[in-house]
Amino acid sequence: MADFDKLWAEGLRDLAAETPQLPQLSARARRRIRAGRALTVVAGVAVLAGICGGLVIGAQALSRVQPPAGTVHSATAYVLNTSSNTVTPIRTATSTALPPVKVGGTPCAIAVTPDGRTAYVASHGLAAGNAGTVTPIRTATNTALPPIRVGRGPCAIAITPDGRTAYVVNEFSGTVTPIRTATNAALPPIRVGRGPAAIAITPDGRTAYVVNSASTPSCADTVTPIQTATDTALPPVKVGNCPGAIAITPDGKTAYVTNNDSGTVTPIRTATNTTLPPIKVAPGRPGAPGRLFIAITPDGKTAYIVSQGTSQGDTVIPIQTATNIALRPIREGPTFPHTLLPVTIAPDGKTAYVITNPRGGNHPDTVTPIQTATNTALAPITAGKGSCAIAITPDGKTAYVTNSDSGTVTPIRTATSTALPPIRVGHAPCAIAITPNRSAR
């Protein structure tokens, strides 16, 4: 495999050699600096788009929650527009976008309370120095409540199954902020490890597991369990190198943590917080940009691992949770198309969906369904450009795919694997969560 780092560096050096000479600082620029006021020459406020990783954890946890009994209202999908600093609600019954709701800068992660009444949106902020915020949105009216200040760089959020507490992971502060949903008050932050990036809560709500991920060149290698009754961090559990994603089996007995640099998955017994031997799913690749993602089927029998960036291309590897044995990688043709993103599993567990890009470059991304019974890939469905995340309605009928480069969301009818016309939302949509069907009150 070619040394990509070297190729990029050489290519960029070649290009940089063509840079023009630095012109004199213009008299106008000098005047403007002296005057101390901005005249916009080139552009207005610049906010960049992000493709959030690890953010669907909360949404996945949520999709397992059963809707309460009663008169059922249709679900609403909430799409985070990373560059517009808004959230677009989509009525799933009609696949129509409602007016956007304003939130804090660079919204990055979302989780909805199990009763479906409130969506919590974590906004990362614009730089490492800024505090992040969490904006609660009342789903009945789609109105934003006052933002709650949390730590720096919040980009993962999970809510306890009883809906009482939202845990917000502050990537740059190395902390987790609990928010009491009854009062929307932030409690004192809980210190975890460096660069925490993902969180998952056990189905009994007793323990939240936070993955300390940091970044290259010095990766963390721990997971911090938090006792939710007391909001205290327990001793960190050592896993593999550069852990990234986490998923917990529906019975709550095992948490699976993916280790990006080791190319392994570490099972953690939640009863004792001890690890089992790591499961090899990919070659070790220290510092490689590719990552491992994970999702577990609702019956808890299989964990699907998406492995990016190996020399063989990207693959999807099923793990039998009963034996912790990795099965044969799932391929489509000679290999799996490149650029796989977090795997999402339909509520009935029959199909797993991954985002792929068989054609590369500027071509639209596709969604490839995988039949979990046979672990075979079906024909890819065309979505939009820069597809980023998938969420599936509680009835399993529609999958919504956010397309960050197109500024759209593509609904996919799961029964026929057909894409419906894209829904226009804001700039750089990425994270998405769908409310459970709500009972009327």
Partner 1 sequence: MSDSSAGDRLEVLYLRHGPEALRLAYLLTGEKELSEDLVQEAFVRVARRLLSLRNDDSFRWYLRRTVVNLANSHLRRRRVERAYMKKLVSSAAAGGVTNPDMVTRQAVRSAIAQLSARQRAVVVLRYYEGLTDQQIASVLGWPVGSVKSSLHRAAAALRGQLAGEE
Site for partner 1 in 312-371 (CB under 8 A): 313-314, 338-339, 341, 357, 360-362
Residue 126 binds partner 1, judged by CB under 8 A: yes
Helix/strand/coil percent split, the chain, to 5: 5, 45, 50
Burial call 204-225: b when 16+ CB within 10 Å, e when fewer = ebbbbbbbbbbeeeebbbbbbb
Residue 59 binds partner 1, judged by CB under 8 A: no
Residue 43 binds partner 1, judged by CB under 8 A: yes
As measured in angstroms, the least distance from the Cβ of 226 to partner 1 is: 20
Euclidean distance between the first and the last CA atom of the chain, given in angstroms as a whole number = 59
Task: Tell me which of 124, 151, 176, 384 binds partner 1, using CB under 8 A.
Answer: 124
| Piece of 104-112, 158-166, 391-399, 408-416 that binds partner 1 (CB under 8 A) | 104-112
d(CA 156, CA 86): 17
Q: Which of 397, 438, 441, 345 is nearest to 66 (CA)?
A: 438
| Piece of 23-31, 60-68, 136-144, 343-351 that binds partner 1 (CB under 8 A) | 23-31
- Cβ proximity to partner 1: between 70 and 287 the closer is 287
d(CA 120, CA 166): 8
Residue 214 binds partner 1, judged by CB under 8 A: yes
Residue 44 binds partner 1, judged by CB under 8 A: yes
| Piece of 58-66, 182-190, 212-220, 374-382 that binds partner 1 (CB under 8 A) | 212-220
- Phi and psi, residue 370, nearest 5°: -120, 125
Provide CB contacts within 8 A for 333, sequence distance 6+: none
- Cβ proximity to partner 1: between 213 and 270 the closer is 213
| Piece of 12-20, 70-78, 272-280, 367-375 that binds partner 1 (CB under 8 A) | 12-20
Residue 291 binds partner 1, judged by CB under 8 A: yes
How many degrees, rounded to 5, is the angle at CA 58 between CA 413 and CA 262?
100
Residue 246 binds partner 1, judged by CB under 8 A: no
Q: Which of 327, 308, 311, 326 is nearest to 376 (CA)?
A: 327
The whole-angstrom distance between residue 178's C-alpha and the CA centroid of its chain comes to 19
Task: Tell me which of 67, 114, 163, 195 binds partner 1, using CB under 8 A.
Answer: 195
Q: Which of residues 409-428 bind partner 1 (CB under 8 A)?
A: 427-428
Task: Tell me which of 60, 89, 171, 285 binds partner 1, using CB under 8 A.
Answer: 171
Residue 22 binds partner 1, judged by CB under 8 A: yes
Strands 264-269 and 101-102: unpaired
Task: Tell me which of 58, 125, 263, 369 binds partner 1, using CB under 8 A.
Answer: 125
- Cβ proximity to partner 1: between 106 and 181 the closer is 106
- Cβ proximity to partner 1: between 35 and 229 the closer is 35
As measured in angstroms, the least distance from the Cβ of 430 to partner 1 is: 8
- For residue 29, give the DSSP letter: H
Sign of CA dihedral 65, 69, 75, 79: negative
Burial of 117 (0-12, 13-18, 19+ CB in 10 A): middle
